Copies of this chain bind each other. A is one copy, B any other.
Amino acid sequence: MKRHLTLLICMMFLCQWMHAEDGSLLWLRQKGTAATSITSNKTTQTTSIAVNELKNAWKGLPVSLIIKKNKSLCKEGFMIEKKDGNIIVSSPTDKGILYGAYHLLRLQASNPDFKTTLPIIENPTYSLRLLNHWDNLDGTIERGYAGQSLWQWDELPETLSPRYETYARANASIGINGTVLNNVNASPQILSGPYLQKVKALADLFRPYGIRVYLSANFASPMVLGQLDTADPLNKQVIRWWKNKVKEIYQLIPDFGGFLVKANSEGQPGPCDFGRTHAEGANMLADALKPYKGIVMWRAFVYSPNDADRAKQAYQEFKPLDGMFRDNVIIQTKNGPVDFQPREPYSPLFTAIEHTDQMVELQVTQEYLGHSNHIAYLAPMWKEFFEFVPATTLKAIAGVANIGTDINWCGHPFAQSNWYAFGRLAWNPSLTSEEIADEWLKQTFSSKEEFLSPAKQIMLQSHEAVVDYMMPMGLHHLFAWGHHYGPEPWCAIPGARPDWMPSYYHKADAQGIGFDRSSKGSNAVAQYPTALAEKYNQLDTCPEEYILWFHHVAWNHPMKNGQSLWNNLCRHYDRGVQQVRLFQKLWDQTEKYVDEERFYEIQSSLKTQMRDAIWWKDACLLYFQTFSKMPFPTDMERPIHRLDDLKKVNLGISNYECPDEELLNRNR
């Protein structure tokens, strides 16, 4: 009887615990020992949060939180030191104290010997570390694969979801200090009175966590909301409308961050509609924001279906405007010159713009990396960017969020790591991918070496695997029409924009494959600094991971390993597939160390990733083989699909959806 009771209690506990493990806690899972004393020399909303976080999660020595000047610290910086058996966290600001508290908890979780490393001083590399939400006011998220928008616009400002607070905690814990709430394809309504009340509610809630609110502004807002018949940035009525609107905003939200603007891009209105330049448009907004210390983040993601190579267009349009922007304008440019492809060379704008502040826009949501079905840890990709664009040359950093209403926030448990890694790299771009993975895994899953070793291997190799099975060697934009999930290198929609077709990018023909951007082709290479331009321009010096980005290469061209381009291409695709097979094995090794729910969820999603990897490999290689007419290397795993069958696949999902299992099963 007693034994049965014990069993019953165990089972109840297990059930409760099992029920609890839905991933909603993110990396904020530590439970403290109540005995520890936390003292603070000043009590604000922000320091109270810090105290509470430590009270809930700190297990060690007494901690004092002290706000004091310290020349070695910038406003958001902090120092952690040991003194007389106590830990002291100090900072010039309460925000820095909060960051210090979170850092202390991170150290506790990730480094058992951290005390020997004290004192530690941390200052953020960028003062602006922003999330961009591509959330629409109707609750959908463009390129969001974790459910609907977090913002319950219908319920705001009266009702505040408890998730907002967790969102703020999570961001603060990794140093994110700004959030652009709405999609860059912006509805003008966000600037309407009722919506600003809702925005204010969120801003008030986020403020103690050190998070400022920003908004994406639709450049035609004065026409839509103000009934003006123009949005010409030089028009006085327009200027006045914006000044008044900005004033209205700051009356509600005194620390409002500013505007993010997608103008004259993919159909969005902008100053060019009125014969003005991007600079004139941005400056008009900047002038309105200036008195309040607000900023304009003006996106350089522009291209149109003209003769020029799409990869060159942002440079062509923005380089001549360099130096013509107000000092509270930052040009926000995607890391690569096309569009968040699995691998791109860096956008040459970063090294070309010299007299205007710049920021990089990274994509945390996996628009082109298997949505929230594939494991693709993106720190290695972002680190690659920083190898070319020194972190110090940027003013700020933004990440397109992967957060939604899904109980685990990001759709895939491992997708949380990209939110985490973005924040950590925004704070300190010199952290290694491995350090961040280690921190995140320990806080999110387990510190056991038996778990860490396989899990970290998966994470660190995952981005390269996706590149390999989707678009290796500089291939890009082979995605299916509409959604950007599956392969469709053959895609040909009658009458569609040529620069939205895969063939525009891969240019496969009987001779070879790849986009000739050398001096013999579109000469996009010339947009890079001379040394790099020369390197990229020559077939034999161009790095092989970019070779089909910059060159149209003959199928039988001998690569560095002595084998043909075709064989190398095949081997990359095959390696990608084999890597996912390995990830499956590695993940299975973690079973004993992971809760059942997340173990099976990830095991299950790896099956999807596995089938997708095969799908990608088969689709791309079988299609390209119709041009190369060359056999697969003899030792390579063979296709299991027929090209004709794959051409019939139609997932039928939108920009706002992640394909679900049933859909994937029905279609493949």
Cβ 8 A contact of A640, one of B585, B591, B607, B648: B607
Q: A648 to chain B: which residues have CB within 8 Å? A: 665
From A44-52, A260-268, A348-356, A631-639, the one touching the partner chain is: A631-639
**B632, A645: Cβ atoms under 8 Å?**
no
* A 639-668 to B, binary, CB cutoff 8 A, 1 in contact else 0: 111100100100000000000010001101
**A588, B631: Cβ atoms under 8 Å?**
yes
**A637, B607: Cβ atoms under 8 Å?**
no
Q: A611 to chain B: which residues have CB within 8 Å? A: 640-641
Cβ 8 A contact of A610, one of B588, B640, B666: B640
With known contacts A607-B640, A611-B640, A640-B611, A645–B665 Cβ distance under 8 A: yes
**B642, A607: Cβ atoms under 8 Å?**
yes
Interface residue ranges of A167-201 to B (CB < 8 Å)? none
Interface residue ranges of A539-593 to B (CB < 8 Å)? 581, 584-585, 588-589, 591
Q: Considering the chains assembled together, what is the distance between the CA atoms of A607 and B642 in angstroms?
A: 8
Interface residue ranges of A37-95 to B (CB < 8 Å)? none
With known contacts A588-B631, A666-B666, A604–B638 Cβ distance under 8 A: no
| Min CB–CB distance A122 → chain B (angstroms) | 40
| Min CB–CB distance A600 → chain B (angstroms) | 10
Q: Considering the chains assembled together, what is the distance between the CA atoms of A638 and B640 in angstroms?
A: 16
With known contacts A645-B665, A666-B666, A588–B640 Cβ distance under 8 A: no
| Min CB–CB distance A530 → chain B (angstroms) | 46
| Min CB–CB distance A650 → chain B (angstroms) | 12
| Min CB–CB distance A109 → chain B (angstroms) | 28
Q: A641 to chain B: which residues have CB within 8 Å? A: 607, 611
| A606 interface hit (Cβ, 8 Å) | yes
Q: A584 to chain B: which residues have CB within 8 Å? A: 637-638
Give this chain's copy count.
2
**A634, B589: Cβ atoms under 8 Å?**
yes
**A607, B666: Cβ atoms under 8 Å?**
no
Q: Considering the chains assembled together, what is the distance between the CA atoms of A611 and B640 in angstroms?
A: 6
Q: Considering the chains assembled together, what is the distance between the CA atoms of A634 and B631 in angstroms?
A: 32
Q: A665 to chain B: which residues have CB within 8 Å? A: 645, 648, 668
Q: Considering the chains assembled together, what is the distance between the CA atoms of A632 and B607 in angstroms?
A: 15
**A632, B588: Cβ atoms under 8 Å?**
yes
Q: Considering the chains assembled together, what is the distance between the CA atoms of A604 and B643 in angstroms?
A: 10
Cβ 8 A contact of A638, one of B585, B634, B639: B585
| Min CB–CB distance A93 → chain B (angstroms) | 50
Q: A645 to chain B: which residues have CB within 8 Å? A: 661, 665
Q: A614 to chain B: which residues have CB within 8 Å? A: 640
* A 132-167 to B, binary, CB cutoff 8 A, 1 in contact else 0: 000000000000000000000000000000000000
Q: Considering the chains assembled together, what is the distance between the CA atoms of A610 and B642 in angstroms?
A: 12
CB nearest to A609 among chain B residues: B640
Cβ 8 A contact of A639, one of B607, B636, B642, B666: B607
Q: A638 to chain B: which residues have CB within 8 Å? A: 581, 584-585, 588, 606-607, 610
| Min CB–CB distance A274 → chain B (angstroms) | 52
Q: Which of A589, A591, A636, A642 has the most CB of B within 10 A?
A: A642
Q: A637 to chain B: which residues have CB within 8 Å? A: 581, 584
* A 590-612 to B, binary, CB cutoff 8 A, 1 in contact else 0: 01000000000000101100110
CB nearest to A614 among chain B residues: B640
Q: A631 to chain B: which residues have CB within 8 Å? A: 588, 591
Q: Considering the chains assembled together, what is the distance between the CA atoms of A585 and B581 in angstroms?
A: 19
With known contacts A611-B640, A640-B611, A635–B585 Cβ distance under 8 A: yes
Q: Considering the chains assembled together, what is the distance between the CA atoms of A639 and B605 in angstroms?
A: 11
Q: Considering the chains assembled together, what is the distance between the CA atoms of A641 and B648 in angstroms?
A: 21
* A 617-642 to B, binary, CB cutoff 8 A, 1 in contact else 0: 00000000000000110111111111
| Min CB–CB distance A567 → chain B (angstroms) | 14
CB nearest to A612 among chain B residues: B640
Q: A610 to chain B: which residues have CB within 8 Å? A: 638, 640
**B666, A585: Cβ atoms under 8 Å?**
no
Q: A635 to chain B: which residues have CB within 8 Å? A: 585
Q: Considering the chains assembled together, what is the distance between the CA atoms of A305 and B668 in angstroms?
A: 40
| Min CB–CB distance A451 → chain B (angstroms) | 15
Q: Considering the chains assembled together, what is the distance between the CA atoms of A193 and B230 in angstroms?
A: 94
CB nearest to A603 among chain B residues: B638
CB nearest to A581 among chain B residues: B637
Q: A639 to chain B: which residues have CB within 8 Å? A: 607
**A634, B585: Cβ atoms under 8 Å?**
yes
CB nearest to A607 among chain B residues: B640
CB nearest to A665 among chain B residues: B645
Q: Considering the chains assembled together, what is the distance between the CA atoms of A194 and B611 in angstroms?
A: 56
| Min CB–CB distance A575 → chain B (angstroms) | 16
CB nearest to A589 among chain B residues: B634
| Min CB–CB distance A612 → chain B (angstroms) | 10
Cβ 8 A contact of A661, one of B585, B642, B661: B642
Q: A581 to chain B: which residues have CB within 8 Å? A: 637-638
CB nearest to A604 among chain B residues: B642
CB nearest to A636 among chain B residues: B585
Q: Considering the chains assembled together, what is the distance between the CA atoms of A90 and B63 in angstroms?
A: 107
| Min CB–CB distance A587 → chain B (angstroms) | 8
| Min CB–CB distance A124 → chain B (angstroms) | 41
Q: Considering the chains assembled together, what is the distance between the CA atoms of A589 and B585 in angstroms?
A: 30
Q: Which of A591, A614, A638, A665 has the most CB of B within 10 A?
A: A638
CB nearest to A582 among chain B residues: B638
Q: Considering the chains assembled together, what is the distance between the CA atoms of A640 and B664 in angstroms?
A: 12
Q: What are 6 A-B contacts defined by CB distance under 8 Å?
A: A581-B637, A585-B634, A585-B638, A591-B631, A604-B642, A607-B642
Top 7 A-B pairs, shortest CB-CB distance: A584-B638, A610-B640, A607-B640, A611-B640, A645-B665, A604-B642, A581-B637
Residues of A bordering B, CB below 8 Å: 581, 584-585, 588-589, 591, 604, 606-607, 610-611, 614, 631-632, 634-642, 645, 648, 661, 665-666, 668
Q: Supply 8 further A-B pairs (C-beta < 8 A) apart from A584-B637, A588-B632, A645-B661.
A: A581-B637, A584-B638, A585-B635, A588-B631, A588-B634, A604-B642, A645-B665, A665-B668
